[in-house]
A = this chain, B = another copy of it.
Amino acid sequence: MKNPSRRRFIKTAGATAMLPLAGSAGFASKPKTMKNIFVHQVYFWLKTPESKDDIHMLIGGLQKLATVKTIKSYHIGHPAGTPREVVDGSYAVSWLAFFKTKADQDAYQVDPIHKKFVEDYSHLWSKVVVYDSVDA
């Protein structure tokens, strides 16, 4: 392989596979394990959680943040409405970003786009919790 970046991202039972639902390949028969990734998961609680404007403003900020080059894929979410004792649905906005490596996430932390995001939007939030995970 000439391009070392063409390494397997998703694998199952030793076979290279696309992420299910991606493109036109449809479902695979088994769920796929995601490997060789850095998972950066952030939950935001807002100072004015009842303000739809503030929520939309933060989402807009995250969409700009998503342009950081080392982000491989991302999801911007809100609570799914699944009330159970162990579920924390009190946050306003979730930000899930996948990186190829820890170094790529380190680069994202100091990227000017990330710094500008914090500068422009941190007045909106009262609390942020971050969980960073790598393959167990």
A residues bordering B, Cβ < 8 Å? Answer: 3, 5-10, 16-24, 26-27, 30-39, 41, 43, 55, 59, 66-69, 71-82, 84, 86-89, 91, 93-94, 96-97, 100, 102, 105, 128-136
Which of B5, B38, B84 is A80 in contact with, Cβ under 8 Å?
A: B38
Question: Taking the full assembly, how many copies of this chain does it contain?
Answer: 2
Q: Which of A41, A100, A105, A129 gathers most chain B CB within 10 Å?
A: A41
Docked-complex contact B133 and A73, CB < 8 angstroms: no
- 17 A-B pairs with C-beta separation under 8 A: A10-B73, A27-B72, A30-B67, A33-B66, A34-B74, A55-B136, A59-B136, A76-B136, A77-B133, A77-B136, A79-B133, A81-B102, A82-B130, A86-B128, A87-B132, A88-B130, A94-B136
State the Cβ distance, A119 to closest chain B Cβ, in Å.
16
